[in-house]
C-alpha cells in the first residue's frame, strides 16, 4: 500500500457510507495488507470520535447524531467488540471534543477509553502556508493549534494507556503516510493493545496548493452534508 502502510482502519465519516468505504478498500487492498472496519462517528454535539472493530456489525450500531459523546464512550466500554479513541482533540474547526466540552470532560474521556490520537496530519499542508511571512504573525494561535494536532502534548496521554493512534483524516492519497509503527504477532491485537509502545511515522511536508484546494473543498462539502442532515432530523 502507499507509503509502506500495511494496515489501515477504514474510518469514513458516519454520515456518508462507511460500510461501503470499508468494503471497497478491503476488496482492493494489496496482498498482505490488512483492513479493519470502522467509522468516524459524529455525536449529537457534533464531536468526531473514531470507533472500530473486527466485526462489520459495527455499522449497524452507530447512526450519526443519535448518541452523545459520553454515550458513545459508555457503549464502547460495555462491548468488548468495539474500540475507540479520542480523535484529533486539537483540530481546527468545530469537530474536536475540546471545541464542545470542557477540558475536564476531555481528560475524563481519554482516561476512560485509555486511548487518544497522538498525531494527525490533516493540516500539515496548511501549516506550510501559514508558516510563510506574513502569515506566521497573523495566525500564531492557529499555527500553535496545528502543532498540537500534529503531536499532542504528553500531558494529554491517558493515565493508563491501552493504545495510541495516529493518522486519521487522510482524505486524499497525498495525505497518506502519517501512522504508527506497532509491535506484535497479531495485527489487530497489536493495534488495540500497543500500550503506548509505538513509533510515530511522519513524512516531510511540502506545500501543495492543489492539495490545499482539494482539502478545503472536501471540508466544505462535509460541513454542508452535516448541516443538511441535522436540519432534517
The residue whose grid cell reads 475536564 is: 104
30, three cell numbers: 494489496
Residue 12 predicted with pLDDT over 90: yes
What is the distance between the alpha carbons of residues 111 and 163, in angstroms, rounded to a whole number?
A: 11
C-alpha cell recorded at residue 228: 443538511
pLDDT digits (tens, 9 = 90+) for 107-118: 999 999 999 999
Q: According to the model, what pLDDT value does residue 232 have?
A: 66
Angle at the Cα of 168 (from 95 to 151), degrees rounded to 5?
85
Global pTM value: 0.93
- Lowest-pLDDT choice from 17-31, 123-137, 153-167: 123-137
Give the domain 2-231 fold: TIM Barrel (3.20.20)
The pLDDT value recorded for residue 135 is: 83
pLDDT at 166 over 60: yes
CA dihedral sign, ordered 17, 21, 24, 26: negative
pLDDT band at 233 (very low <50, low <70, confident <90, very high): low
Mean pLDDT of all residues in 171-181: 89
pLDDT tens figures, 46-105: 999 999 999 999 999 898 999 999 999 999 999 999 999 999 999 998 899 999 999 999
How high is the pLDDT of residue 47?
96
Mean pLDDT in the chain? 92
Map out the domains of the chain as residue ranges.
2-231
- Give residue 138's pLDDT: 85
pLDDT one-digit tens code per residue, 22-48: 999 999 999 999 999 999 999 999 999
Amino acid at each position: 500500500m502507499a507509503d509502506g502502510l500495511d494496515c489501515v482502519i477504514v474510518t469514513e465519516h458516519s454520515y456518508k457510507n462507511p460500510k461501503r468505504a470499508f468494503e471497497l478498500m478491503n476488496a482492493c487492498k494489496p496482498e498482505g495488507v490488512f483492513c479493519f472496519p470502522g467509522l468516524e462517528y459524529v455525536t449529537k454535539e457534533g464531536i468526531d470520535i473514531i470507533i472500530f472493530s473486527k466485526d462489520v456489525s459495527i455499522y449497524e450500531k452507530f447512526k450519526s447524531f443519535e448518541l452523545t459523546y459520553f454515550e458513545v464512550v459508555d457503549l464502547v466500554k460495555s462491548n468488548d467488540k468495539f474500540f475507540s479513541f479520542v480523535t484529533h482533540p486539537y483540530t481546527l474547526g468545530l469537530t474536536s471534543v475540546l471545541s464542545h466540552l470542557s477540558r475536564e470532560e476531555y481528560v475524563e474521556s481519554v482516561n476512560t477509553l485509555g486511548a487518544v490520537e497522538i498525531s494527525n496530519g490533516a493540516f500539515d499542508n496548511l501549516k506550510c502556508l501559514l508558516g510563510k511571512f506574513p502569515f506566521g504573525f497573523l495566525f500564531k494561535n492557529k499555527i500553535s493549534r496545528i502543532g498540537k494536532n500534529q503531536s499532542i502534548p504528553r500531558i494529554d496521554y491517558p493515565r493508563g494507556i491501552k493504545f495510541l493512534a495516529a493518522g486519521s483524516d487522510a482524505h486524499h492519497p497525498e495525505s497518506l503516510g502519517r501512522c504508527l509503527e506497532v509491535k506484535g504477532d497479531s495485527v489487530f491485537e497489536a493495534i488495540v493493545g500497543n500500550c503506548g509502545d509505538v513509533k510515530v511515522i511522519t513524512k516531510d511536508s511540502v506545500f501543495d496548493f492543489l492539495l490545499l484546494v482539494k482539502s478545503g473543498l472536501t471540508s466544505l462539502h462535509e460541513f454542508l452534508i452535516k448541516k443538511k442532515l441535522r436540519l432534517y432530523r
